[in-house]
Copies of this chain bind each other. A is one copy, B any other.
Amino acid sequence: MADDTHTNEPDLIKDPDLEGWNQVPLHDGYVNLIGPYYVKTNDLGHTQTAFRAQARHLNGGGSVHGGCLLSLADTALYLIAYPRLEGSHVVTLQLDSQFISPGREGDIIIASGEVIRAGASVVFVKGQLQAQDRVILTFSGILKRIKPKV
């Protein structure tokens, strides 16, 4: 219907594989473009971020595009660090990644990780993307705290 054509696949969240997940609470045009992304807090209190790989996420070789995986990693970097930011605005300073195995259409790809150190000026995070038991990508990144815009 006309009144719901703008919504971003709202039925995906009914996917039994994503039960208990919530849509990412970011006002973020880019995540809306490539998402939706979903979040959940795991038993260790760490934030996990996920999406389901679809045809529109694939490269010409039929695997999930590297940039699509890195987009999830960069968003996850922020969400993993968020509980340790205590209100700081941050920017990504650096992101390293290793492509361990390809992502496939239909995979639910979940990013998880941890803060290695939350310092006064920078926050170190490492994490990985998995589809079930298969590691897709590992990453490390550094966020820099910046003064909030006033």
Residues of A whose CB lies within 8 Å of any CB of B are 26-34, 55-61, 63-68, 70-75, 77, 89, 91-102, 116-117, 121-122, 124, 126, 128, 135, 138, 140, 142, 144
Contacts and interface: CB of A to CB of B under 8 A. Distances in A.
Nearest to A32: B56
Q: How many copies does the complex hold?
A: 4
Contacts of A31: 59, 65
B102 A30 contact: no
B60 A67 contact: no
User: Interface majority SS on A: helix, strand, loop or mixed?
Assistant: mixed
A122 B144 contact: yes
Contacts of A91: 61, 63, 99, 102
Contacts of A116: 98, 100, 128, 135, 138
B59 A33 contact: no
B98 A94 contact: yes
A97 to B, nearest CB: 5
Nearest to A27: B60
A70 B59 contact: no
Nearest to A53: B30
A71 B67 CA distance: 4
A72 to B, nearest CB: 7
